[in-house]
Amino acid sequence: MKKRDFLKTSAALASTTLMPSSLLASIAGSKTRLRTAHIGVGAMGAQDLQSIASHNSVDVVALCDVDSKSLEAAHLIYPDAKIFKDYRVMLKNMSSDFDAVIVSTPDHTHAPASIMAMEMNKPVYCQKPLTHFVSEAREMKKLAEQKNLVTQMGIQVHSFYDYKLATVLIQSGIIGKVHTVRAWTDRNFGYDGPVPEGKDPIPDSLDWNLWLGTSPKRSYKETFYHPGIWRKLVDYGCGTLGDMGIHIFDTPYNALALDVPLTIKNKCRKPNGYGYPESNRVTYTFPGTKYTADTLKWIWSDGPGSPLDKKYLELPNEDKLPLQGAMFIGEKGRLLLPHFMERPRHIVDGEYKEIDVKKYDPKNDLGERLTDYGLASPKHYHQFVDACLGKDKVSAPFSYASRLTETILLGVVAGRFPNKTLNWDGANARFKEDEANQYLFGSYRNF
């Protein structure tokens, strides 16, 4: 099934009347409580559910999961919620009984589920990366804008103190114009083993067809797909870039007010069509902004032992580089941002410099620095709830999240062409190298 047809079917199933954005905005302003419907409630979905529900104006009214074990566990905590295994049935049957949707499924289901909810004029909180394909990210941005919907991508770190501080420091010019960003993780969400043969019995708790959703039909194999392992595989996840990369890219990308890149080159092993590379080194060039030199060079490294090349990454006192993080390199020094929940460090001439936070944040706009993940993390979720209730603004709406996701996915696509520089025409959403354009879209299976 073509993506367009899937969207049409979803819209028909939705069967709600489209409302003008002015009316939607006035509804948001008049609500005092938010009724939420959750798609995917195991693992991260369980955390998302708990964080959203910890807002005292939220009522959890619907839960959906294709694995009855996760569904039952969530239902024990929210026994008043209605339960479903098919998000299409939940959205269709309950559309007038919930106000917002939270999507916490594997990546390949983010866009199909979110787009169906947005077609019904529902605000959406969707986990990162926003989508599996570039075309879907553009579609979600367009829909959110057309319908004037409150949206937020699940990059909770975006609302943490240290990341907001790094943004203020960079935008205040602490290291002058930035010419290079280096970002890295030692994590590896790749796989170069054999494609599994045969099939295993599908667990009684799992609806495998619904798990596959719009992605290609494949036999169930234990330890290959569900839960969690899908992120290493081309048909369902986005590899290490989509998993850790998007968190680590977020602050430099946001702080430097970047748009999508001009060129992308991924140095990695040959593609095998099934699992992502175990190690990527992606070099991007971006057009300059007011916080950067005329162009910006961005080097991402992932996989065990990364980053191998330490250019710009030597630390004072021979300190060890954090296992994950980013370094901004500017005309007047460097700023290190470890991932995560650690303070940014200012480095000039091989020495750490104290950061006088009051000088950069005189009105204490950044608020309190929370060092406990359990306390800091709900902020991003509560911001979404408050924005739905007309009391706050989101900080990672789909207008932003789609560009960041596109940048990540372009690095993923470049992994299909190891060591080749791809030229990206952002205005027309096309590569100059036509052979790469086929990977910007997916065809949706009818399920």
Ligand X SMILES: NC(=O)c1ccc[n+]([C@@H]2O[C@H](COP(=O)([O-])OP(=O)(O)OC[C@H]3O[C@@H](n4cnc5c(N)ncnc54)[C@H](O)[C@@H]3O)[C@@H](O)[C@H]2O)c1
Q: How far is the CB of 198 from ligand X (least distance, A)?
A: 22
* Conformation bin of residue 377: beta by default, left when phi > 0, alpha when psi is -120 to 50: alpha
Amino acid at residue number 153 = M
Report the alpha-carbon distance of residue 241 to residue 248 in Å, rounded: 9
- Cβ–Cβ < 8 Å for 381, 195: no
Give me the least distance between CB of 73 and ligand X, in Å please: 9
CB nearer to ligand X: give 39 or 422. Answer: 39
Q: How far is the CB of 349 from ligand X (least distance, A)?
A: 36
Given the rule CB under 6 A, which residues bind ligand X? 39-40, 42-45, 64-67, 70, 87, 104-107, 109, 127-128, 154, 156, 210-211, 213, 226-228, 243
| CB of 99 or CB of 250, closer to ligand X | 250
Closer CB to ligand X, 136 or 243, in the complex: 243
Dist. CA 336–CA 160, nearest whole Å = 16
* Nearest-approach distance from CB 118 to ligand X, in angstroms: 16
CA dihedral 420, 280, 277, 338 (to 10 degrees): -160
Tell me how far apart the terminal alpha carbons of the chain are, to the nearest angstrom: 9
- The residue (of 227 and 374) whose beta carbon lies closer to ligand X is 227
Nearest distance from C-beta of residue 11 to ligand X, angstroms: 19
CA distance 123 to 118: 7
Q: Among 60, 9, 62, which residue's Cα sits nearest to residue 39?
A: 62
By C-beta, is 101 or 335 nearer to ligand X? 101
Minimal distance, residue 183 CB to ligand X, in Å: 17
Q: How far is the CB of 158 from ligand X (least distance, A)?
A: 10
CB nearer to ligand X: pick between 225 and 298: 225
**Which C-beta is closer to ligand X: that of 210 or that of 408?**
210
For the CB of residue 216, give the shortest distance to ligand X in the complex, in Å. 15
Given the structure tokens 């009347």, which residue do they identify?
17
- Using DSSP, state whether 41 is helix, strand or coil: coil
Enumerate long-range contacts of 367-376, CB under 8 Å, 24 or more apart.
367/161, 368/161, 369/161, 369/162, 370/160, 370/161, 371/341, 373/341, 376/156, 376/159, 376/160, 376/161, 376/341
| C-beta nearest to ligand X: residue | 42
- Whichever of 205 and 295 has its CB closer to ligand X, that residue is 205
Q: What are phi and psi of 296, to 5 degrees?
A: -120, 135
